[in-house]
């Protein structure tokens, strides 16, 4: 028996050995990716608090989302974050990249490092500092407003201002990071194109609109996709800064998912929210990629 096994191994080892070497990746992938996804789908079809037996409810968890006012509020807040983050990251990141790429700015490496630091800073530490900045009575922002003749604002306690406070923290963290992408794209554009355009009588604005923007389209697409995907999954900034309040005015879908699963122990419903969030992310990314592909084909 042993001899037959050894003989079989001698014949097959060169085919089997490569799969044995790469098997740790697939084993870990199956354990930490495939199994959680499959279990999440199974869990979303049940009602379970984490203790005791699961109760099968079918698609009831998904159907209940259409009647859940809190989910609609979280969804509308998330859409607001997506739009605001997209505008802030695209506009300010591109402006900073253009400035740092110009000959007018000195010490460019220093500025690049400074703008990149926020992304490696702990969001909890940053949120604590921003909480002090947003303080109604002694915060830096309100001191500036009062110095300019305005009135102090309750950034973290006013339902109409809480999302703006969150966007301020998001802009501080991500504008510099996205600026690096735009800067890399700008430096890949041949200077000869601008020189030829200037010789033909084009001004700086025309060069920017006709040369810079079209050639930066892949970078713009990348920043748009990553920004919107990050915004639809936003959790850290509003949770640490405002806790989703006041009155759930800054609550995102992921914060609502966290509350449903971890605080209310409705794990089946939380799993359903998670898969709806995945569907939203997938559809949004697919639409962006196809729209950008359509624009490129037209050109």
157-197 per-position pLDDT tens digit: 888 888 998 999 988 888 888 888 888 888 888 888 877 88
70 with 127, same domain: the answer is yes
Assess if residue 139 is contained within a domain.
no
Is residue 13 one of the residues assigned to a domain?
yes
**For residues 47 and 54, is the Cβ–Cβ distance under 8 A?**
yes
Q: Considering its fold, how many domains does the chain have in total?
A: 2
Region 214-218: mean pLDDT is 84
How far apart are the C-alpha atoms of 31 and 23, rounded to whole Å? 12
Residue 46, phi then psi, degrees to nearest 5: -130, 165
Residues 175 and 207 in one domain: yes
Model confidence at 257, pLDDT cuts 50, 70, 90, reads very high
Arithmetic mean of pLDDT over the chain: 84
Domain-embedded: residue 59: no
- Do 212 and 74 lie in a common domain? yes
pLDDT of residue 229: 86
| CATH number for position 241 | 1.10.3720.10
80 within some domain: yes
Whether residue 20 is found in the same domain as residue 82: no
What SS3 class is residue 55? strand
Provide the domain limits for residue 22. 2-44
Residue 137 domain-assigned (yes or no): no
- Is 61 contained in some domain? no
pTM reported for the whole predicted model:
0.84
Which is higher by pLDDT, 199 or 133?
133
* Mean pLDDT calculated for residue range 99-112: 75
Q: Among 76, 42, 83, which residue's Cα sits nearest to residue 274? A: 42
Q: Are residues 30 and 79 in the same domain?
A: no
State the Cα–Cα distance between residues 167 and 180, nearest whole angstrom: 20
Of 289 and 183, which is predicted with more confidence? 183
CA-nearest of 250, 249, 246, 267 to 258 is: 267
Is residue 118 over pLDDT 70?
yes
Same domain, 210 and 91: yes
Residues 40 and 187 in one domain: no
- In this prediction, residue 299 carries a pLDDT of 55
Distance CA 162, CA 228 (A): 20
Co-location of 6 and 73 in the same domain: no
High-pLDDT (> 70) share of the chain, %: 92
Residues 6 or more apart whose CB falls under 8 angstroms from that of 1 comprise none
261 Cβ contact list (under 8 Å, min separation 6)? 267, 269, 270, 271
Q: Which residues contact 215 (CB under 8 A, 6 or more apart)?
A: 185, 188, 189, 193
Q: What is the pLDDT of residues 7-62, one digit of tens each?
A: 666 666 677 777 778 888 889 989 998 998 899 989 989 888 888 888 888 889 99
Helices vs. strands in the chain: H and E counts, helices first: 15, 2
Whether residue 30 sits in one domain with residue 106: no
21 and 113 in a single domain? The answer is no
**Helix 217-232 with 267-298: angle, nearest 10 deg:** 170
Residue 86 lies in a domain: yes
Which two three-digit tokens encode residue 104?
A: 């007018």
**pLDDT at residue 77, rounded to an integer:** 92
Same domain, 278 and 209: yes
In a domain, 192, yes or no: yes
Q: Are residues 219 and 169 in the same domain?
A: yes
Per-residue confidence band for 76, with pLDDT thresholds at 50, 70 and 90: very high
Banded model confidence at residue 73, pLDDT cuts 50, 70, 90 = very high
């Amino acid at each position: 028996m042993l001899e037959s096994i050894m003989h079989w191994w001698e014949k097959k080892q060169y085919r089997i050995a490569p799969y044995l070497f790469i098997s740790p990746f697939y084993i870990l992938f199956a354990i930490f990716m495939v199994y959680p996804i499959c279990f999440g789908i199974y869990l979303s079809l049940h009602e379970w608090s984490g203790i005791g037996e699961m109760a099968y409810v079918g698609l009831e968890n998904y159907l209940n989302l259409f009647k859940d006012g809190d989910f609609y509020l979280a969804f509308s807040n998330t859409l607001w974050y997506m739009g605001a983050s997209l505008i802030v990251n695209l506009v300010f990141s591109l402006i900073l990249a253009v400035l740092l790429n110009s000959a007018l700015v000195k010490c460019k490496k220093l500025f690049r490092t400074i703008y990149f630091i926020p992304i490696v800073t702990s969001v909890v530490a940053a949120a604590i500092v921003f909480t002090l900045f947003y303080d109604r009575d002694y915060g830096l922002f309100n001191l500036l407003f009062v110095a300019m003749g305005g009135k102090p604002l309750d950034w973290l306690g006013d339902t109409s201002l809480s999302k703006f406070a969150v966007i301020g923290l998001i802009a501080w963290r991500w504008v510099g990071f996205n600026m690096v992408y735009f800067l890399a794209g700008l430096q890949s554009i041949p200077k000869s194109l601008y020189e030829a355009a200037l010789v033909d009588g084009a001004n700086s604005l025309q060069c920017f609109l006709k040369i810079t923007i079209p050639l930066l389209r892949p970078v713009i697409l990348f920043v748009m996709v990553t920004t919107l995907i990050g915004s639809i999954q936003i959790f850290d900034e509003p949770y640490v800064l405002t806790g989703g309040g006041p009155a759930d005015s800054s609550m995102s879908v992921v914060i609502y998912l966290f509350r449903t699963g971890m605080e209310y122990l409705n794990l089946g419903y939380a799993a359903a929210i998670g898969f709806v969030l995945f569907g939203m992310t997938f559809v949004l990314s697919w639409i962006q990629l196809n729209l950008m592909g359509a624009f490129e084909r037209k050109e």
